[in-house]
Structure 1
Amino acid sequence: MTRNQPVPTRRSFLGGAALATLALAAGAGTANASSAPRTSAAWPTEIPLPNGFLPEGVAIGTQPYAYFGSRANGAVYRADLRTGAGAVLYAGATGTITNGLKVDDGAGLLYLSSGSAGGAARVVDSRTGSLVATYQLTDPTGHFINDVALLGDRAWFTDSYGAVLYGVPRGGTGAVRELPIGGAWVQSATGISANGIVDTPDGKALIVVNGGKLYNVPLATGTATEITLSGTTAVTNGDGLLRVGHTLYVVQNRLNQVSVLTLNAQATTATLTRTITDSRFNIPTTAAVFGNLLYVANAQLGAPTTPDTPFNAVAVSL
């Protein structure tokens, strides 16, 4: 099924075929992983974010820059991993949210999810911060567009309040594809279901965390199967997902930890190998990697905050 065409704004797209080629070359396969790691012991392991920013998502591409999304106003902050310094790239707007985000370096684009505000996905120029397009994925109310993963020619978004994934065309115009989730999938009647999302190692499916379980959702059918866990019975409070090769990182927000699991070739089983903790974790929600460092965004979910509340991201060694 397909939905609305995008509403382009402020930047002309490259020709569809040319930009699609760039997008595929840049983003297929491992999510949020640098293909040419270059880190130094002198790089900071704490990145200050603007006061009151309310971060949730973090994304890093092939270059040493991290992008953070704001729940306060939908803004995106870009930080230089080499220095920790940064600035607001995309100003957002009052009443908007950026929950999850992914960067496609080859196409120079960021894909932003809208959380509970508007049922939309936005595409932003990762170099200038200009809003490129808005895709209305579903009704503006009653939905929670939570996270996003790049796979093939689409950016795939989760809806925490609906058993469906939305595929936004990468780098060009076209209709959104709706992929209903069936099979073993269990949709919550009262709370959040689908949350973090990544592609599988074989590129044929998506892994989605839901209610402490991991599901393998094939793009061809949407028929979900539960991934068999070994070494643990559940990934409780599972939020953001990150895959590097056959290693899956599951950020467990209110547990202040990241579980590290090994996937088999078909991503039908996941074996817990270790758990990452750090005294600086403050309800982390998402993670990204560059070189030998894992960066997590401290969302401080549920904590009292004001416009003056400090926020940060921290890095731990892989």
Structure 2
Amino acid sequence: MRKLLSLLIVPLVAAATLVSVGAPAAAHPAKPFPARIALPNGFTPEGLTIGRGTTVFVGSILDGAVWRGDLRTGRGSVLIPGTPGTDKAGLKLDPQGRLWTADFSGGGASVYDADTGTRLAHYQFTDVPGSYVNDLVITQRAVYFTDSARQVLYVVPLGPGGRLPAPTAFRVLQLSGPAATPDVYHNGIVALPDGDLLVAQMLTGQLVRVDPRTGGSRLVDLGGYSVERADGLVLRGRTLYVIRNLTNVIAVVRLNAGYTAGVVQREITGPQLRSPATGDLLGSALYVVNGRFDVESTPSTDYDIVRLPA
């Protein structure tokens, strides 16, 4: 995933002659994580999440396949085979080792065993044509999903210990305020420390705070900066990474203490970004999956994950 990977080969031959007999051998430096990880050609990725250790999961918006790989080695394979008509957008791993997916044009969400790929549950939120269940965030009490075509959030409550509810035990939260504006294309979503949710409006270039109890919302003041084409959101502390797909820009926003306003500290860009869809953090690195939404997807189109300094 990172084209920042330069292998430094230190000449050791001369130094070795200075080591006295019997001295302990110098430890080999750890091999750097790859700067770029290739996904299967034609995979058409959209969602990415990092699980336990260095495990990464990527979902396909083409046929719903899920690829599981290792960020340390760069190797991986398909965990959940693709099936036409089961396209997946966002995905997240919960503390119980379950992989949740937003089933995009299918109008619902699925839950899988992240080790075996076995489907554990499915929630059918809507059968309204043109609905797009796009992204999700997992909290201690519920899982929240955005719909890019409707001014609602879908809420799946969790039982004690994260127990999965019955297939019909979800609710549709009607949004109000700026989050209820038509045609804004709600996309990425993260949870704030105070319990509110932060949602990206991809077409208007705005961020909105949503009260998960009432659906009420208000705009986050970015000082006039537009996050147009905002796709995935990644939050660590008060630093928000806004991944803007077709602009090939990742805006790094420092939010205020109340999470009501933010200042763009820098923009990450470069040729390694090819319509990035979303990402996740591991240590000091931000891993981003390139959706390549500006090209037609064919069986030979190449896709990848790239590693960037956070």
Deviation at 1:61, TM superposition (A): 2.9
Unaligned runs of 5+ in 1: 1-39
Whether 1:250 and 2:242 are equivalent positions in the alignment is: yes
2:53 maps to 63
1:41: how far off?
6.2
- What residue is the counterpart of 1:291 in the other structure? 283
- The RMSD of aligned alpha carbons is 1.4
Q: 1:169, 1:219 → 2: CA distance?
A: 12
From the CA coordinates, give the structure whose radius of gyration is larger.
2
Q: In the alignment, does 2:102 pair up with 1:110?
A: no
What pairs with 1:146-185 in structure 2 (closer than 5 Å)? 146-170=134-158, 171-174=163-166, 175-185=169-179
The count of aligned residue pairs is 273
Partner of 2:182: 188
Q: Which has the higher contact order (CA 8 A, sep 6+)?
A: 1
| Counterpart check, 1:270 vs 2:262 | yes
Q: CA deviation at 1:317?
A: 1.0
Change in Cα spacing, 1:237 to 1:110, as seen in structure 2 (3 Å) is: same
Q: Structure 2: which amino acid aligns with 1:306?
A: T
Match of 2:43 in 1: 53
Shift, 1:114, TM fit: 1.3
Query: AA paired with 2:199?
Result: V
Asked if residue 220 in structure 1 is aligned to residue 210 in structure 2, the reply is no
Q: Deviations over 1:29-81 (max 9, x none)?
A: xxxxxxxxxxx661111111011000011111342111101011101101101
| Aligned structure 1 segments of 4 or more residues deviating by more than 2 angstroms | 184-189
Distance 1:225 1:96, change over 3 A: same
The amino acid across from 1:220 in the alignment is: R
In 2, Cα distance between the equivalents of 1:233 and 1:70?
Answer: 31
Is the CA contact 1:256–1:284 (under 8 Å) kept in the aligned structure 2?
yes
1:207 counterpart residue number:
198
The residue aligned with 1:123 is: 111
Letter in 1 for 2:126: T
CA distance in 2, matches of 1:125, 1:262: 35
CA distance in 1 between counterparts of 2:300 and 2:271 reads 22
1:85-143 Cα distance to aligned partner (Å, 9 max, x none): 00111113111111000111x31101101112x20101011111111111001115220
Contact 2:86/2:103 (CA < 8 Å) preserved in 1?
yes
Change (3 A) 1:288 1:109: same
Secondary structure of the equivalent of 1:201? Answer: coil
Q: Structure 1 residues 163, 140: closer, same or farther in 2, change over 3 A?
A: closer
DSSP 3-state at the match of 1:185: helix
Q: Is the 8 A contact 2:208 2:217 kept in 1?
A: yes
For the residues of structure 2 that align with 1:56 and 1:252, how far apart are their CA atoms? Answer: 13
What is the rounded CA distance, in whole Å, between the counterparts of 2:308 and 2:52 in structure 1?
A: 19
What's 1:37 paired with? none
Deviation at 1:218?
A: 1.0
